């Protein structure tokens, strides 16, 4: 047994490689179809790529050490300091790159936590129904009805200045209900479909039904919810940072806003200290929203507009002709 596995790995069969290539090509075609004739997806994807590359290569792209005093206070943008300097003489360009790492990782981490909880609660509640559903639905609705951000602000105020990891966890465990609600209703809709019933009749285990039969049908909704949570978490992190409730010694877009506010940079004419992190946040939020919208169109073809819609109508007409409906 052991032998056959090693021999298999040592001598890859060409047939496998071509299968892998086929998969790659299929994935590539899907990606191309997603962006083709879809300007929002192209713009959003392009912006997000630039932002992610900037965050990834922050140490290489930074012109100065973001944590050190490298200029005079509030120097205007120049060749040496592309986006000017802060009140404390930090280089804004290097800070915004460094801040992207912190802000995006907090938002992604919170998004992952929230999505995991949302999927577990939503699918369990939707699939099992009964008492479990009643209780989980109640918890979801209670969380939904509370004003989340004020709750977080108060919590952070009582805990004192909290580190970004704590903020990410707090955001993650409070922002799952939106996703859970959508996933639950979609699970309810799928549960009564024939393929689930036939799987049940065949005696498949409940775990297998959830993981293999239900989850793959929820992917676009789950991913859409994930992106929505990331947008929300980024805004909330910026808000907490701006209010001075985050750790102001860490460089993030939120803490940059805080220091810009403390030094009243807008009033003294040093707009770059405030507007650079603000615009970075705005572009990231907007780009993610465009991607999210395009995913919506893929999962629900009815929502398509423009060239996408025309293409869909053409394909639909051809299909109808094949079926002999027209």
- The span from the CA of 224 to the CA of 182, in Å, is 10
Nearer to another protein, 14 or 147 (CB): 147
Residue 231, number of CB atoms within 10 A of its CB: 19
Closest CB 81 distance from another protein, rounded Å: 21
Instruction: Give 63 or 148: the residue with its C-beta nearer to another protein.
Output: 148
Please report how close the Cβ of residue 73 comes to another protein at its closest, in angstroms.
Answer: 20
Footprint (CB under 8 A) of another protein, residues 112-131: none
Taking every pair of C-alpha atoms in the chain, what is the biggest distance, in angstroms? 76
Contacts of another protein in 159-188 (CB under 8 A): 159, 178
Nearest approach, Cβ of residue 139 and another protein (Å): 10
To another protein, the closest distance from the beta carbon of 208 in angstroms equals 33
Q: Look at the block and give the residue holding tokens 């932002």.
A: 51
Distances (CA, A) of 318 to 52, 304, 306, 307: 40, 18, 19, 17
Q: Binding residue for another protein (CB under 8 A) from 87, 105, 286, 298?
A: 286
With CB under 8 A as the contact rule, the residue among 155, 166, 188, 311 that binds another protein is: 155
How far apart are the C-alpha atoms of 202 and 243, rounded to whole Å?
57
Three-state DSSP class for 91? strand
- Verify binding: residue 262, another protein, rule CB under 8 A: no
Say whether 162 sits in a helix, a strand or coil: strand
Taking CB under 8 A as the rule, does residue 324 contact another protein?
Answer: no
Closest CA to 184 of 130, 233, 136, 112: 136
* Cα separations in angstroms, 131 against 74, 112, 137, 197, 323: 61, 27, 10, 21, 45
**Which residue in the set 2, 10, 72, 267 belongs to the binding site for another protein (CB under 8 A)?**
267
29 near another protein (CB under 8 A): no
Give the binding-site size for another protein (rule: CB under 8 A): 55
Q: Are 97 and 58 in contact (CB under 8 A)?
A: yes
Site string for another protein, 55-84 (x = CB under 8 A): ------------------------------
Q: What is the DSSP letter of 85?
A: B
Residue 315 binds another protein, judged by CB under 8 A: no
Q: Is 151 in the site for another protein (CB under 8 A)?
A: yes
Number of H helices, E strands in the chain: 15, 0
Residues that bind another protein (CB under 8 A): 39-40, 138, 141-142, 144-151, 153-155, 157-159, 178, 231, 234-236, 238-239, 242-245, 257, 266-267, 271, 274-275, 278-279, 281-282, 285-290, 292-293, 300, 302-303, 305-306, 309-310
């Amino acid at each position: 047994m052991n032998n056959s596995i090693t021999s298999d790995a040592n001598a890859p069969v060409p047939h496998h490689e071509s299968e892998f290539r086929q998969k790659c090509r299929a994935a590539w075609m899907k990606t191309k179809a997603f962006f083709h004739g879809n300007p929002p997806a192209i713009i959003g994807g392009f912006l997000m790529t630039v932002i992610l590359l900037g965050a990834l290569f922050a140490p290489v792209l930074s012109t100065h050490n973001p944590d050190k005093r490298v200029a005079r206070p509030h120097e205007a943008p120049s060749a040496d300091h592309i986006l000017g300097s802060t009140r404390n003489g930090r280089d804004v360009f290097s800070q915004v790159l460094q801040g992207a790492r912190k802000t995006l990782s907090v938002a992604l981490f919170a998004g992952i936590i929230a999505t995991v909880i949302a999927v577990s609660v939503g699918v369990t509640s939707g699939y099992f129904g009964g008492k479990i559903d009643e209780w989980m639905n109640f918890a979801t609705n209670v969380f939904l009805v509370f004003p989340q951000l004020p709750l977080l602000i108060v919590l952070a105020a009582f805990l004192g200045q909290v580190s970004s990891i704590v903020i990410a966890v707090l955001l993650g465990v409070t922002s799952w209900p939106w996703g859970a609600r959508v996933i639950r209703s979609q699970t309810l809709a799928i549960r009564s479909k024939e393929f689930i019933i036939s799987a049940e009749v065949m005696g498949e285990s409940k775990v297998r039904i959830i993981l293999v039969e239900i989850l793959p049908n929820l992917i676009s909704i789950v991913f859409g919810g994930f992106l929505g949570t990331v947008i929300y978490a980024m805004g909330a992190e910026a808000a907490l940072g701006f209010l001075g409730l985050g750790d102001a010694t860490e460089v993030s877009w939120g803490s940059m806003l805080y220091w810009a506010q403390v030094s009243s940079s807008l009033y003294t004419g040093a707009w770059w200290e405030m507007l650079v992190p603000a615009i970075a946040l705005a572009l990231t939020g907007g780009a993610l929203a465009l991607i999210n919208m395009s995913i919506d169109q893929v999962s629900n073809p009815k929502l398509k507009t423009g060239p996408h819609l025309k293409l869909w109508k053409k394909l639909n007409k051809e299909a109808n002709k094949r079926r002999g409906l027209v």
